[in-house]
Amino acid sequence: MIRCENLSKTFRRARVLDGINLDIALGERIALIGSNGAGKTTLIRCLLGEYIHDGTVTIDGRSPRTERTAVLGNIGFVPQLPPPLKMPVGQLIEFSAALSGADPSHIDAIAGRLGLDVSDIRARPFIKLSGGMKQKLLIAIALGRDAKLLIMDEPAANLDPAARKIFFDLLAERQQSATMLISSHRIDEVASLVNRVIEMDMGKVVLDDKVADDVSLSGRFTCRLVSRRIDPALAKTLGTWKFVADASGLVWSGDVAGPDRLRFIGMLSRYVALIGDLSLHEVVE
In the complex, the residues that contact another protein under the rule CB under 8 A are 45, 48-52, 68-73, 75, 77, 79, 81-88, 91, 95-96, 98-100, 125, 138, 151
Provide the minimum distance between the beta carbon of 68 and another protein in the complex, in angstroms, as a whole number: 6
Provide the minimum distance between the beta carbon of 180 and another protein in the complex, in angstroms, as a whole number: 15
Closer CB to another protein, 68 or 224, in the complex:
68
Q: Which long-range contacts (CB under 8 A, 24 or more apart) does 277-280 make?
A: 277/224, 277/225, 277/226, 278/223, 278/224, 278/225, 278/226, 279/223, 279/224, 279/225, 280/221, 280/222, 280/223, 280/256
Closer CB to another protein, 81 or 206, in the complex:
81
CA distance 212 to 30: 12
Helix (H/G/I), strand (E/B), else coil: 239: helix
Eight-state DSSP code of residue 154: S
Provide the minimum distance between the beta carbon of 179 and another protein in the complex, in angstroms, as a whole number: 16
CA distance 213 to 27: 12
Provide the minimum distance between the beta carbon of 252 and another protein in the complex, in angstroms, as a whole number: 39
Closer CB to another protein, 101 or 232, in the complex:
101
Q: What's the maximum distance between 2 C-alpha atoms anywhere in the chain? A: 64
131-143 vs 161-173: helix crossing angle, rounded to 10: 10
Closer CB to another protein, 148 or 224, in the complex:
148
Closer CB to another protein, 165 or 174, in the complex:
174
Provide the minimum distance between the beta carbon of 133 and another protein in the complex, in angstroms, as a whole number: 16
CA distance 105 to 93: 9
Closer CB to another protein, 102 or 198, in the complex:
102
CA distance 47 to 149: 10
Provide the minimum distance between the beta carbon of 10 and another protein in the complex, in angstroms, as a whole number: 11
